[in-house]
Structure 1
């Protein structure tokens, strides 16, 4: 069917065809990768909305598809998008003041000023413009750049018509909601790319000062630094994680593959997902979730293959310890030859104040950094400084990887896209296809730190941080310690695809944010470098529970999409299975039924014992005892080494079942129970209250119960709720299950797909799609994907909108 005939079909579907026009502000053309327009004038797209405000965007090429995507995202999320564009322009201090803390969507900056100094420096140095000029595949393709141009035009066209009708109180009437350029789009993509590298050290980059006097001693030993790096990297994105599993056809009812994707991302801010279908007739047809501000589908499916991502354990940065010229601390030595650092002086406008000017210092390795997280200072002295290498600072290829996925017809096509563009900065990929193939790969952009290089070139600090945390600190004074290149890598200094941990066509492949080692517990992956992650080390409770579940599913066989849905919302708490019975028995044996709390007072905890015993070991709405156990376990494990908790230690030969056997004599266990009982009673929360009564979100004044549980409980359906006992318990969700998809195939050309966007399409409380899918999530219901034309046409809520520029 031609594009024109397809549009004719839409027009005669029996529903009104709305035409929306808007002139394009002049600012839209500036900074675009390509300023030309298609023949015939302005860009246009057709958007068909089905249930829950899900848009199905149809356009004739990539620029027009980007236009429709930008329009539709702006309609749902203009305030969140505008806030992100203020960030990448380095203008937060100008509009919101320098001292306020930005959300952590695009970097780890703790103040607006720090964020602005970094992003304005990126802008003024021309970093993104240079990356846009790099020929594909090392740089972005023409299609990717056209999509950026189109998105900016679509966003601007929506804004031109609707600026004075914005109903979201977050930005209604705000002067910082302005037109954007294609360069803003590319800068947003750059920010996401460096999120795990330069973005994680923004404060340390923007606070650099050459030493004028000797800095005070830090008191941090290499061992303490290693522990700090391990903590920092293990929580590199504390609000991001994921589960995903793909099943091979031998385990399914019809021999076709199955995929369940369950990313755990923030429920607010710029790393929310947004759901859509994108179609260029004859070119691509794909549905799924996109990170806001992205032109492509991040996690999704087409007619033949489905994929998801999980945040990987690879460390996408390293440090180089510089030896400085004794006469000038802004000169460093490489093989005895001096090299002068480059100054990047940045001036940031400040609301109600004078502009602030700071200088950053850059080297052949990257920026000088004086801290990596608050707990790991990296002092710049008269003899030593540290530079941060982030290979993703030259990676603007993620959109091309996603486009390759969107057009793939098998897991082999997914793999080819990973190899061709090598654009994923900090995630693994899990996929399944119609033919029954399963696939896992940790194909991310990582600095080419081999174990041999680390052994030969690590400084004393690196000798501590690399084995424990995977953070290499190399001797920057030796050219022989350069990272080198792999022949199959698209850019120097990174690993090529041949070095990536990959597993094909196992009965199942699964990841829950541990390393690639146990992607399939029956065939562990080994032989990769430490920078990718660990081998034969203790797994998280969530990984252990996930492997138990999916291995049992694979062994049982005859799997269908419904089995994936049940796994997602089963809400089993593996930690409860491991310890609750023992804790209840120990509780019942406490002398006098009392325990001593942190304040030294004896607390009657006897009423907690039967509640723990009867708890069903799940975190459903009606689970009684789940809240009690959750609060107790958080207190019992806070800062406690695993060796003090378990009777049976970790055994690499039995990694799913160890460690186990709670040691009820462990220090602090009694205190944790006393403090929990005291806390719940003070909040007037019954010890056996149903979880849903005290774990909820409030939307437009109404409570919506939320099932699921925290990381420490090991729940697949992960939820990180915000504790506010004065308001009733857990009263909001900061992060957790987000865009969920369960995908399979039957004998038709239409995929069998069920989806959930837990926090709904819009963050505007005045939108009809502010909480509709949140209520579905609460009720354990799903959205049936309308992927094929016949299903879209049958939607009872079908609304067709034609959007275009007015030239």
Structure 2
């Protein structure tokens, strides 16, 4: 088999071999050059349609080399800017007060981002984690991938001219080391924890003597925490469903993955196949800067991830020394906070120095975002515990999934690596098994511990939001360790919600409870998510759809494709008829807007009544309903919106029956009609006329709908008051519909909605975006015969001397 692989690779390479040799680029000051012994690193990259690379190498270091090279070829400017972020140099090159690309943290300014990441570097946080032996630290294979990736990226810089105007001739594009690759993995791991709290970490200051900050209101903080940790409201989410063989035409599993991620910046997916003959063969989407496939498939297993409801952090309320607010008491013993003084350079040549304050639990924070104040007083402070700040296993978790050959091996891989920080995993295999598991790194907050150790603030935030605030003055309130956990203070694999071999297993960023309507999951701790609570409109629509598909049976990949782009609007199905009826009944055909003005809504009534309740390009009235629904849900509280409230006994159909008598209904309708009128948009205008993106000057209409509408094919576009939706901020990204036919070649259809490159000079700036607009898919070329049969095959041999 190994010889056959090599022979096929040589046949492909003979078609076109471009061998470019150069010395390895110099490493960052203080790092070691990414250099291999002997002749150096190399890989073969076969490009097929839409610029999808199929990378073949003899081992992990060489595979990393090819991956780093190919990613740089498509996304060098985005990758390079990410390394500016990780070096803490955004203020120097882009201005201290400017807003950063928030792909690697939630920092609100470049200065805040720099102070956070420079603090990580100064403390040698990542280096210390790398010093840990596997399985707590990275495996040898992952270390080799990182080493090779850095060398490949550097070799590309040495051997190519940058054409992307975003960074052409930019001083900040520099070589990287394997440590930089590891730092990016760390940043991804703490996105939901320290990265989310970057502003709060770098701005925390001891109180000025004699001041008395206002005590936070527990109920207000709890509400803010609910919003902060809601996966539906974040810029990342997802749908995924696995169907067991009992529902499919051939008795084998099916998997539809639909992650909702940013369309711009460093958190984009990039599509590739990675092959080490006889060792690894996997295809899918990698997050930029990553070395392994994040969401993908091999010959036997397909998997996807959805952002989980598990709260990846907790707070410890500190009792301070009355004589010193930078010292805290634990069991009556005094502990001094550790000062971390950080200095960054700014664009005008000046330096800014700030002090961060760290405790045994983590950094002191004075907020967790707008509306969630945590004041540092003379008696109290709050420390953030983020267990993923000790997690360098995310790359090993991905690699283990890449190599799994069955659902049993998927479960074993997740239990062995314990590295996924903030996602669920949904998978199906060729034998017909399905899986959902919320295997994520979470603080070990049991309900019993929360009951025993919550402070007054925690008694409000934990039940409602899953955010535990524990008494940090007692050692009995520390988190402990599960016997099967790789690190202290986190849950072990045996505590995770798991559903195996259900006819379908679906998640749309709600908790594990309704993964399958007939087999609800219960019994997990509150920090994982809720049980028996109202589901999002997207979850309700998704469960309706996939349950009906499972009941239908004899499913194929084609059914998954149809589900992805059906663009059904669950909110419209539930309310559009009532909206149109109530609209038509308004006296004089007018409605009063929030500004008190009367608006003629007669044309709007007709448009909503005739609307087909989809977000397809030719749907008329879709844009009007979208703008109306956004205003209604923003202006009318959920418990006032419906006549029939939520019931846990009927969680998909309730709540229902829109209360059109509520004053907010008329205001939302009038405001939506007036808004479209100001933009020169007719109420029955087709969606294609006013929902689009621009690429290299071309306008591309796009279908799909927003979170609040419940559309599976989610898009969150940016509204231009003069023209409608003119860009997408986040939504459907790397999509895959995968099945198995019993052979070595999976049956896969994929789509990278925003295409492989952001370089306006690249032929792959918008080619898959145009496919997306037309609801067309890419047929996977996974097996060698299919790759070599590509009419656009281009083979490149890349190497370092």
Report TM bin, short chain: over 0.9
Determine if the alignment matches structure 1 residue 756 to structure 2 residue 751. Answer: yes
704, 709, 714: which one aligns with 2:705:
709
Give me the whole-angstrom Cα distance separating, in 2, the residues matched to 1:36 and 1:4.
31
- Contact 1:215–1:379 (CA under 8 A) maintained in structure 2: no
- Contact 1:579–1:662 (CA under 8 A) maintained in structure 2: yes
Name the counterpart of 1:485: 481
Listed one character per residue, the Cα deviations across residues 272-321 of structure 1 (whole Å, up to 9, x for unaligned) are: 00000000111100000000000000000000000000000000000000
Deviation at 1:215, TM superposition (A): 3.9
Determine if the alignment matches structure 1 residue 504 to structure 2 residue 503. Answer: no
TM-aligned CA distance change 1:43 to 1:379, over 3 Å: same
TM-aligned CA distance change 1:214 to 1:236, over 3 Å: farther
Deviation at 1:765, TM superposition (A): 1.0
**Which deviates the most, 472-481 or 339-348?**
339-348
Listed one character per residue, the Cα deviations across residues 449-477 of structure 1 (whole Å, up to 9, x for unaligned) are: 00000000000000010011000000000
Name the counterpart of 1:135: 133
Give me the whole-angstrom Cα distance separating, in 2, the residues matched to 1:679 and 1:447.
45
Q: Residue 329 of structure 2: SS of its match in structure 1?
A: strand
Determine if the alignment matches structure 1 residue 23 to structure 2 residue 23. Answer: yes
459, 463, 469: which one aligns with 2:459:
463
Matched pairs, number: 801
Name the counterpart of 2:196: 200
Determine if the alignment matches structure 1 residue 563 to structure 2 residue 559. Answer: yes
Deviation at 1:370, TM superposition (A): 1.1
Give me the whole-angstrom Cα distance separating, in 2, the residues matched to 1:26 and 1:724.
45
Q: Residue 676 of structure 1: SS of its match in structure 2?
A: helix
Name the counterpart of 1:126: 124
- Contact 1:617–1:626 (CA under 8 A) maintained in structure 2: yes
Deviation at 1:217, TM superposition (A): 3.2
- Contact 1:28–1:153 (CA under 8 A) maintained in structure 2: no
Name the counterpart of 1:743: 738
Structure 2: 5+ residue stretches without partners: none
Give me the whole-angstrom Cα distance separating, in 2, the residues matched to 1:429 and 1:12.
35
Give me the whole-angstrom Cα distance separating, in 1, the residues matched to 2:256 and 2:71.
25
Listed one character per residue, the Cα deviations across residues 304-360 of structure 1 (whole Å, up to 9, x for unaligned) are: 000000000000000000011111111111000011111111111111142011111
Give me the whole-angstrom Cα distance separating, in 2, the residues matched to 1:13 and 1:92.
41
4+ residue stretches of structure 1 with deviation over 6 A? Answer: none
Determine if the alignment matches structure 1 residue 336 to structure 2 residue 336. Answer: no
Name the counterpart of 1:794: 789
Determine if the alignment matches structure 1 residue 267 to structure 2 residue 266. Answer: no
Give me the whole-angstrom Cα distance separating, in 1, the residues matched to 2:12 and 2:202.
58
- Contact 1:312–1:426 (CA under 8 A) maintained in structure 2: yes
Q: Residue 324 of structure 1: SS of its match in structure 2?
A: strand
Deviation at 1:11, TM superposition (A): 4.1
Name the counterpart of 1:148: 146
Determine if the alignment matches structure 1 residue 364 to structure 2 residue 360. Answer: yes
Give me the whole-angstrom Cα distance separating, in 1, the residues matched to 2:169 and 2:204.
37
Correspondence list, 1:611-626, <5 A: 611-626=607-622
Determine if the alignment matches structure 1 residue 771 to structure 2 residue 772. Answer: no
38, 42, 45: which one aligns with 1:44:
42
- Contact 1:720–1:733 (CA under 8 A) maintained in structure 2: yes
Name the counterpart of 1:68: 66
Give me the whole-angstrom Cα distance separating, in 1, the residues matched to 2:366 and 2:533.
31
- Contact 1:308–1:429 (CA under 8 A) maintained in structure 2: yes
Q: Residue 279 of structure 1: SS of its match in structure 2?
A: strand
Give me the whole-angstrom Cα distance separating, in 2, the residues matched to 1:523 and 1:228.
32
Name the counterpart of 1:354: 350
Name the counterpart of 2:284: 288
**Which deviates the most, 764-773 or 207-216?**
207-216
Correspondence list, 1:224-623, <5 A: 224-234=220-230, 238-623=234-619
Deviation at 1:5, TM superposition (A): 6.3
Deviation at 1:29, TM superposition (A): 9.3
Deviation at 1:96, TM superposition (A): 1.1
- Contact 2:590–2:598 (CA under 8 A) maintained in structure 1: yes
- Contact 2:13–2:44 (CA under 8 A) maintained in structure 1: no
**Which deviates the most, 461-470 or 375-384?**
375-384
Give the TM-score normalised by structure 2: 0.98
713, 716, 719: which one aligns with 2:715:
719
- Contact 2:231–2:510 (CA under 8 A) maintained in structure 1: no
- Contact 2:407–2:428 (CA under 8 A) maintained in structure 1: yes
Deviation at 1:643, TM superposition (A): 1.4
Give me the whole-angstrom Cα distance separating, in 1, the residues matched to 2:743 and 2:397.
27
Give me the whole-angstrom Cα distance separating, in 2, the residues matched to 1:647 and 1:707.
31
Give me the whole-angstrom Cα distance separating, in 2, the residues matched to 1:368 and 1:636.
38
Structure 1: 5+ residue stretches without partners: none
Deviation at 1:151, TM superposition (A): 0.5
162, 168, 182: which one aligns with 1:166:
162
Name the counterpart of 1:80: 78
Deviation at 1:9, TM superposition (A): 4.3
- Contact 2:363–2:383 (CA under 8 A) maintained in structure 1: yes
Name the counterpart of 1:103: 101
TM-aligned CA distance change 1:125 to 1:219, over 3 Å: closer
Give me the whole-angstrom Cα distance separating, in 2, the residues matched to 1:323 and 1:236.
35
Give me the whole-angstrom Cα distance separating, in 1, the residues matched to 2:198 and 2:232.
13
Deviation at 1:390, TM superposition (A): 0.3
Deviation at 1:741, TM superposition (A): 0.1
Deviation at 1:219, TM superposition (A): 5.7
- Contact 1:13–1:793 (CA under 8 A) maintained in structure 2: no
Give me the whole-angstrom Cα distance separating, in 1, the residues matched to 2:231 and 2:429.
32
Give me the whole-angstrom Cα distance separating, in 2, the residues matched to 1:81 and 1:236.
27
- Contact 1:30–1:181 (CA under 8 A) maintained in structure 2: no
Give me the whole-angstrom Cα distance separating, in 2, the residues matched to 1:645 and 1:43.
61
Listed one character per residue, the Cα deviations across residues 427-457 of structure 1 (whole Å, up to 9, x for unaligned) are: 0000000000000000000000000000000
Q: Residue 457 of structure 2: SS of its match in structure 1?
A: helix
- Contact 1:29–1:181 (CA under 8 A) maintained in structure 2: no
CA RMSD of aligned residues (A): 1.4
TM-aligned CA distance change 1:350 to 1:26, over 3 Å: same
Q: Residue 460 of structure 1: SS of its match in structure 2?
A: coil
Determine if the alignment matches structure 1 residue 782 to structure 2 residue 780. Answer: no
- Contact 1:462–1:471 (CA under 8 A) maintained in structure 2: yes
- Contact 1:742–1:754 (CA under 8 A) maintained in structure 2: yes
Give me the whole-angstrom Cα distance separating, in 2, the residues matched to 1:236 and 1:263.
12
**Which deviates the most, 241-250 or 101-110?**
101-110
Give me the whole-angstrom Cα distance separating, in 2, the residues matched to 1:114 and 1:36.
30
Give me the whole-angstrom Cα distance separating, in 1, the residues matched to 2:370 and 2:507.
30
**Which deviates the most, 744-753 or 206-215?**
206-215
Deviation at 1:205, TM superposition (A): 0.5
Give me the whole-angstrom Cα distance separating, in 1, the residues matched to 2:264 and 2:334.
47
Q: Residue 148 of structure 1: SS of its match in structure 2?
A: helix
Deviation at 1:13, TM superposition (A): 6.6
Give me the whole-angstrom Cα distance separating, in 2, the residues matched to 1:215 and 1:23.
61
Deviation at 1:12, TM superposition (A): 5.8
Give me the whole-angstrom Cα distance separating, in 1, the residues matched to 2:636 and 2:110.
35
TM-aligned CA distance change 1:81 to 1:376, over 3 Å: same
Give me the whole-angstrom Cα distance separating, in 1, the residues matched to 2:152 and 2:453.
50
